A and B are shown apart, each in its own frame.
Chain A
């Protein structure tokens, strides 16, 4: 147990760990590390773990809508959520949106990262910085832009009509499509960065070896580059999924009041009816979905790395 965690720790801190190995076993070294970590661990325990613990506790108090007796403590909210169509619909919609976002983001970001790697000057220069600009500008401004673009009489509708795709303006806002479009745009730079980093680590001599053995560009891609870059794709998918399931501003504005997802359901539950118990329950469900996927995908990545 101890040995395996030590191995894990040293694997994570590989670049610097090697240089500082001398201090690893000394109690003095660990004591100092403990001192450096203590403020952060105390701070996070008080203002992250404790609040989340209270949230978990509150999720077992009964929501006012359930009219349970005072002092009730149990899974009533969870039972209610899992038996109520509206809640189930919202959970399924959330996961469906996330699935579409992950698929489209990977489909768009892989070729982009590939081009960055192929034309190395692009990847090393400001091109990626410019591409990642929306993640710095923040989702609010970006969603404002989508609201202007996708409005009923807005530019996108005029282009669609000019192209003859539709004859009269269609309603794009207040649809799941609008949420998916905005989230793909928002998550794309994160995914491109991850896949680009993975592609950059594919060693050039492996591709050269395949070339010298007569493999065509397509075969080189399919049998060498793609398999070696798959961990990067998977980690891009993890990041995209967790950004999508956590997103609030895009569904709040582009989905309208009718296309609720789990995050907007939490805000409705608190700001609409100040039902902290039910909001806590939804938050716990959201965390379970989000962390399960992230942890499962991460352990798949670790297993993959261990095999190689």
Chain B
């Protein structure tokens, strides 16, 4: 009996090792490759260098793109939060007609193909005879990240007892005071988590931006995408690794410091 159990757990461990290798392998290859002294892939690991990261200084177009991506991410996360937080409050606190349909509508950007969202925004701008602008880019990113804000906020609010807010109401606090003095402080972690997660989701997104970039507003993923069309080398691996490290740091912060579970 005990032999069978240990055989079973050995099999389970072997399966998990294979799955983790499969799922984490590609990103690991990028990070390892970014330290390779070889000048292009495919290549063996020829030697260790930090040089590709220093190369970033010689590519101002990547730094510009990084700056654009940070701006877009921040605007999208901000707009998404301002609009998404009230949605989460409404969904957590009230029952109303068509609640299921309204929830599905608000979460729809998560299941619609992002390339279609980006193209639809291009069609709107074309119909209004506006050129593809920074504004269009920021707006469609905001549409896309809002559901993540709602989700992060909801996961915080469902644990929150309404009695605190009701107590404040009975003491004469109006709706704004209750929101600013009670709900906001209690759900601070959820708000921060939603903002960071929304920023990450905008920051790494490519298909939303594909048709909306202009020479002056090109996001980092689009810049990487264009570079990868001509060559695959340790430099682009270094750029990719930096985004990965930033994203790991952000999600670690959300899960471990803010203690908001976004994925479960």
A residues near B, CB below 8 A?
Answer: 2, 5-6, 8-13, 15-17, 19-21, 23-24, 29-30, 32-37, 39-41, 43-44, 47-48, 50-52, 54-55, 58, 108, 111-112, 115, 118-119, 122, 128-134, 136-149, 151-155, 182, 185, 188-189, 193, 197, 242, 245-246, 248-249, 252-253, 263, 266-267, 270-271, 276, 279-280, 283, 286-287, 290, 294
Complex CA gap A54/B29 in Å reads 42
B115 contacts the other chain (CB 8 A): yes
A246 → chain B closest CB, angstroms: 4
Residues of B within 8 A of A185 (CB): 22-23, 26
Complex CA gap A24/B240 in Å reads 49
Residues of B within 8 A of A287 (CB): 112-113, 116
A sample of 24 cross-chain residue pairs with beta-carbon separation below 8 angstroms, ordered by A number, consists of A12-B103, A13-B99, A23-B95, A29-B94, A30-B94, A36-B86, A37-B87, A40-B106, A47-B143, A54-B124, A58-B123, A132-B263, A134-B23, A137-B248, A138-B205, A144-B26, A145-B25, A145-B29, A146-B26, A147-B41, A148-B41, A270-B122, A276-B126, A287-B116
Residues of B within 8 A of A188 (CB): 19, 22-23
Complex CA gap A111/B8 in Å reads 12
Residues of B within 8 A of A9 (CB): 95-100
Q: Which residue of A lies closest to B116 (CB)?
A: A283
Would you call A149 and B96 a contact (CB within 8 A)? Answer: no
Would you call B86 and A37 a contact (CB within 8 A)? Answer: yes
19 other A-B residue contacts (CB within 8 Å) besides A144-B228, A249-B207: A5-B98, A16-B158, A20-B162, A23-B95, A43-B143, A44-B105, A44-B108, A48-B120, A128-B263, A131-B23, A136-B248, A143-B26, A188-B19, A246-B113, A246-B115, A266-B115, A283-B115, A283-B120, A290-B113
B48 contacts the other chain (CB 8 A): no
Question: Given the known A-B contacts A47-B139, A129-B263, A283-B120, are A20 and B94 also in contact in the complex, defined by CB atoms under 8 Å?
Answer: yes
Would you call A283 and B251 a contact (CB within 8 A)? Answer: no
Would you call A13 and B143 a contact (CB within 8 A)? Answer: no
Give the contacting residue for A248; candidates B97, B115, B157; CB below 8 A: B115
B residues near A, CB below 8 A?
Answer: 9, 12, 15-16, 19-20, 22-30, 33, 41-42, 79, 82-84, 86-87, 89-103, 105-106, 108-109, 111-117, 119-124, 126-127, 139-140, 142-143, 146, 157-158, 161-162, 175, 200, 204-207, 210-211, 221, 224-225, 228, 232, 236-237, 240-241, 243-244, 247-248, 251, 255, 263-264
Complex CA gap A138/B203 in Å reads 9
A77 → chain B closest CB, angstroms: 14
Would you call B243 and A147 a contact (CB within 8 A)? Answer: no
Complex CA gap A153/B42 in Å reads 6
Give the contacting residue for A20; candidates B33, B95, B236; CB below 8 A: B95
Would you call B119 and A149 a contact (CB within 8 A)? Answer: no
Would you call A54 and B207 a contact (CB within 8 A)? Answer: no
Residues of B within 8 A of A294 (CB): 111
- Give the interface SS of chain A, mostly helix, strand, loop or mixed: helix
Would you call B100 and A118 a contact (CB within 8 A)? Answer: no
Residues of B within 8 A of A44 (CB): 105-106, 108-109, 143, 146
Would you call B120 and A136 a contact (CB within 8 A)? Answer: no
Which residue, of A10, A12, A21, A119, has the highest number of chain B Cβ atoms within 10 A? A12
B169 → chain A closest CB, angstroms: 11
A168 → chain B closest CB, angstroms: 15
Would you call B111 and A43 a contact (CB within 8 A)? Answer: no
- Report, nearest first, the 8 A-B pairs whose CB atoms are least far apart: A145-B26, A138-B204, A9-B99, A51-B120, A246-B113, A33-B94, A36-B90, A36-B86
Complex CA gap A148/B142 in Å reads 33
Residues of B within 8 A of A144 (CB): 26, 30, 224, 228, 232, 236-237, 240
Give the contacting residue for B162; candidates A19, A30, A286; CB below 8 A: A19
A46 → chain B closest CB, angstroms: 9
